[in-house]
Amino acid sequence: MRNAALTASPSVAADSEASYFTVFVCGEIFGLPVENTHTIFRITSATSVQRAPSDIVGLVNLRGKIVTAVCLRRRLNMAAGPSIQDALAIGIEHRGENFALIVDAVGDVLKLAKSMTIPIPAHFDPRRSRLTLGLYRVGKLLIPVLDTDVLFTFQH
């Protein structure tokens, strides 16, 4: 999914940069740090986990590994999405554990400079703010970059 509006400015090359996958959920764009992302795949089936937080939709098999499937829609308190059957997921390793983060679509990998960040506004949804590492201004878009430390930490 190429989008000219997502091209980072070459004039910030001297600024410290980091790479982020762009993902889409409910028509909104988010960034995910690339460093722990391993694969993009379709979920064929999931085994539910009793008494798990509602954001965890089950366990899935990824190349012989059992991974925890987390729904980004639920994590961000958004409208329910389609069935987990054939859902698009990103395989992410976090603190030695593997996760499948369910998203609607995956976009480009962007290199974003630290100078492109803006402060998180006070009116930003508190649940999203807690999950956001920072906001990047890219053209006319604001891209919230998700904090994987918080994204994959669950309270019971």
Closest CA to 33 of 94, 97, 103: 94
What are the boundaries of each domain within the chain?
Answer: 16-151
Which residues share a beta bridge with 103?
88
Q: pTM score, two decimals?
A: 0.84
Beta bridge partners of 132: 146
The burial of 68, by beta-carbon neighbours within 10 Å (0-12 exposed, 13-18 middle, 19 or more buried), is given as buried
Residue 11 — pLDDT band, cuts 50, 70, 90?
A: very low
Q: What is the pLDDT of residue 10?
A: 45
The model's pLDDT over 12-71, given as tens digits with 9 standing for 90+, comes to: 445 688 999 999 999 999 999 998 888 999 998 899 999 888 889 999 999 899 999 999
Q: What is the pLDDT of residue 9?
A: 43
CATH architecture for residues 16-151: Beta Barrel (2.40)
Instruction: Output DSSP code: residue 153.
Output: -
Distance CA 53, CA 51 (A): 7
